[in-house]
Structure 1
Amino acid sequence: MIKSFCGIEPQIEESVYVSESADIIGKVKIGKNSSVWYNAVVRGDDEEIIIGENTNIQDGSVLHGEEKTIIGNNVTVGHRAIVHGAKIGDNSLIGMGAIVLDGAEIGEHCLVGAGALVTSNKKFEDGMLIIGSPAKAIRPLTDEEKKNLEKSADLYVKTAEEHK
């Protein structure tokens, strides 16, 4: 469902794939070739949510927040992840079931592991592997790992085309 809130319609590029069971509400902007998958909720009723280009919001994920939520370009937000009022840098991956809370900032080319809890206002520099609860950066990603993050986003652009 795509729904206005207080007269504000989501702004979704024509090339975006939105599954039939996804909910996109209010102050939301979604860039070219992105996708919002089954049972995902992108709820811009409190603050604006901006999703970049070639980004995928996978099944059951929730984007919301009392602060602006910014998801960069070529980002993968894994199944059932929550991003609440946080900023995710370009070419990053938020693992399945991870939670990123208000005011947190994830740099570019970062991998937040499945089930990680990134606490409020925590900031991580570019290119880090971030795991645990509470989440900690444990090491820099290799060049190959960074390329794999980009491949994940590319794969979902192609998969979305097949679902249209």
Structure 2
Amino acid sequence: MALIKTVKGLAPKWGKDCYFSETAAIVGEVMMGDECSVWFNAVVRGDVAPITMGNRVNIQDGACVHVTNTTGPVVMEDDVTVGHNATVHACTIRRGALIGMGATVLDNADIGEGAIVAAGALVLQGTKIGPHEIWGGVPAKFLKKTRPDQAESFAAHYVEYSKWYLDS
């Protein structure tokens, strides 16, 4: 069973058919929709501001989602994928966006619908990424537009993978 921890009277809440690995940590004011997954060694830590996740959001192995009490919450809309070892901090990630493996998204960034942040990219504080754009590099810069459904398809894969674990 994952570490589910209440802090200052604020307990994580989630919808139906969610999967949390045994080594995931979900702390504080975290609200998840249906069919979300938090994988091995991932941390979702809403101890100083809220984290809100829509439906079918997946937080992959080793990723960290955290907040800042002075800059605000993390908001992830439906079908967001946060790749292995990525860091998402006090930002907004729109429907169907993909945060690549090892990427970092800093405070007050806004990642557009269906956008992709490439593996290893650093999205600086306050950066606005448009819908269906691919950004990469350090610091991240616009590279090109996505193909139709390029980012959105990842969330469906992780819903399927989570069912394997829920059924085991």
TM-score by length of 1: 0.96
- What does residue 93 of structure 1 align with? 98
- What does residue 78 of structure 1 align with? 83
The answer (yes or no) to whether the contact 2:114–2:150 under 8 Å persists in 1 is: no
Q: What root-mean-square deviation, in Å, do the aligned CA atoms of Structure 1 and Structure 2 show?
A: 0.8
* CA–CA separation in structure 2 for the residues paired with 1:120 and 1:22: 26
Identity within the alignment, % = 42
Report the alpha carbon displacement of residue 148 of structure 1 after superposing the two structures with TM.
3.2
- What does residue 126 of structure 1 align with? 131
Report the alpha carbon displacement of residue 123 of structure 1 after superposing the two structures with TM.
0.6
* CA–CA separation in structure 2 for the residues paired with 1:154 and 1:62: 21
- What does residue 57 of structure 2 align with? 55
What letter is aligned with 1:97?
Answer: G
* CA–CA separation in structure 2 for the residues paired with 1:148 and 1:124: 16
What letter is aligned with 1:78?
Answer: G
What letter is aligned with 1:23?
Answer: A
Report the alpha carbon displacement of residue 151 of structure 1 after superposing the two structures with TM.
2.0
* CA–CA separation in structure 2 for the residues paired with 1:14 and 1:54: 10
Q: Deviations over 1:108-160 (max 9, x none)?
A: 010100000000011111110110110011111122xxx23222110100100
Q: Secondary structure at the match of 1:11?
A: coil
Q: Secondary structure at the match of 1:156?
A: helix
Q: Which moved more, 1:27-36 or 1:147-156?
A: 147-156
* CA–CA separation in structure 1 for the residues paired with 2:138 and 2:110: 16
What letter is aligned with 2:162?
Answer: A
What letter is aligned with 2:118?
Answer: G
* CA–CA separation in structure 1 for the residues paired with 2:31 and 2:142: 30
Q: Aligned match of 1:12 in 11, 14, 24? A: 14
What letter is aligned with 2:6?
Answer: S
- What does residue 37 of structure 1 align with? 39
- What does residue 66 of structure 2 align with? 64
Residues 113-152 of structure 1 aligned to structure 2 (within 5 Å): 113-143=118-148, 147-152=149-154
What letter is aligned with 2:91?
Answer: A
- What does residue 116 of structure 2 align with? 111
Q: Structure 2 unaligned runs (5+)?
A: none
* CA–CA separation in structure 2 for the residues paired with 1:133 and 1:65: 22
